[in-house]
Structure 1
Amino acid sequence: MFFSDAGARPRTWEASPSEHKKWVEVFKACDEDNKGYLSREDFKVAVVMLFGYKPSKIEADAVMSSVNPNTSGLTLEEFLNIIRKKKEAQLYRNEIRHIFTAFDRHYRGYLTLEDFQKAFKQVAPKLPERIALEVFRTPFYA
């Protein structure tokens, strides 16, 4: 889906006027018959246009299940809200990736306890070493 309910959430993010305008234009382009909403297939095309990938069946199902039952698809307002959340999640994942890369000093694709301790010493030098050790050993999937 767009982002997990586990862990920290991205900060609220607002689109620039030009980005907002682009989203509205994509909505209008995908609403070929001027129905005032996007069908499931229209939504998939819009995601391809904005994010460069075709949404999975699960993602499309999740979005379409959130649609107001009195409409036949996503209204412009619903579409803009979904796209904003999707963009927030994308920015959040990029931020996490940058932080991980900064910690992964040897470009191994994983962090050792030593990497973690060095990073914590730079970022929070007064933090007790046991905290970094506890954080490193805490499974993220728990």
Structure 2
Amino acid sequence: MFSSEARPQTWAGTRGASPSEHKKWVEVFKACDEGNKGYLSREDFKVAIVMLFGYKPSKIEANSMMTSINPNTSGILLEEFLNIVRKKKEAQLFWNETRHIFSAFDRHYQGYLTLEDFQKAFRLVAPRLPERSVLDVFREVDQDSDGFVSFGDFEIAINYGQKEVKKSSYCELFGTSWDD
């Protein structure tokens, strides 16, 4: 109905956010902008993160966010704030999905996965996959080769898989290899 040019500039920085989330983020920005400066100082930013995510960002995280902004400003502008919040939300959702998948594999709630857990899961979702392939996947994911896959090992494998999918999609799209 509306072209992307007709949308307010602030909406472009929050792709994937619902209108109610976007509104909430803008309201939090305004509530935390002490003195209506038009930007969030380091302390304002910390309060905003507490309001939205329920934790106080570490000094390292706050410094990272403050250095990623335009050096000509004294703080984080609304557009930058919306972009930061969107990225944090996406990362949080991805972590939650990864945890959910891991928990589905961890049928005995042990906090780790065994080869047997992998075999049962793959039998359910890919019954025709050769047993050798399941063993290869397990060995690949078991980073320290101790016969157990921790959530950390699993998360690394999922993240690596995401990067490989993105790389292969890029290569397919542009008809090139990643090494070019």
Interval containing the TM-score (normalised by the shorter chain): 0.7 to 0.9
Q: Given that residues 13 and 88 in structure 1 are in contact (C-alpha distance below 8 angstroms), is that contact kept between their aligned partners in structure 2?
A: no
Structure 1 residue 117: deviation in Å?
A: 1.0
Q: For the pair shown, which has the larger CA radius of gyration, 1 or 2?
A: 2
For residues 33-52 of structure 1, the aligned pairs below 5 Å read 33-52=35-54
Indicate the larger mover: 78-87 or 126-135.
126-135
**Aligned residue number for residue 27 of structure 1:** 29
Query: Taking structure 2 as the reference length, what is the TM-score of the superposition?
Result: 0.69
What amino acid is the match of 2:121? Answer: A
**Aligned residue number for residue 91 of structure 2:** 89
Aligned length: 131
Q: Given that residues 117 and 132 in structure 1 are in contact (C-alpha distance below 8 angstroms), is that contact kept between their aligned partners in structure 2?
A: yes
Structure 1 residue 73: deviation in Å?
A: 0.8
CA offsets 1:20-74 (integer angstroms, 9 cap, x no match): 0000000000102111111111111000000000001111111111010111111
**Aligned residue number for residue 100 of structure 2:** 98
Q: Given that residues 116 and 132 in structure 1 are in contact (C-alpha distance below 8 angstroms), is that contact kept between their aligned partners in structure 2?
A: yes
Structure 1 residues 103 and 53: CA distance shift in structure 2, 3 A: same
Whichever structure has more helix as a proportion of its residues is 2
Q: Which runs of 4+ in 1 moved over 2 A?
A: none
Distance in 1, matches of 2:130 and 2:110, equals 26
Distance in 2, matches of 1:112 and 1:134, equals 13
Distance in 1, matches of 2:58 and 2:136, equals 37
Distance in 2, matches of 1:79 and 1:130, equals 48
Q: Is residue 2:113 matched to residue 1:111?
A: yes
Structure 1 residue 13: deviation in Å?
A: 6.1
Of structures 1 and 2, the one with the larger relative CO (CA 8 A, separation 6+) is 1
Gaps of at least 5 residues in structure 2 are 1-13, 144-152, 158-180
For residues 8-19 of structure 1, the aligned pairs below 5 Å read 14-19=16-21
Indicate the larger mover: 123-132 or 107-116.
123-132
Q: Given that residues 39 and 72 in structure 1 are in contact (C-alpha distance below 8 angstroms), is that contact kept between their aligned partners in structure 2?
A: yes
Structure 1 residues 13 and 101: CA distance shift in structure 2, 3 A: farther
**Aligned residue number for residue 134 of structure 2:** 132
Indicate the larger mover: 122-131 or 23-32.
122-131
Structure 1 residue 135: deviation in Å?
A: 1.7
Distance in 1, matches of 2:133 and 2:85, equals 37
Question: What's the secondary structure of 2:107's corresponding residue?
Answer: coil
Query: Taking structure 1 as the reference length, what is the TM-score of the superposition?
Result: 0.87
**Aligned residue number for residue 66 of structure 1:** 68
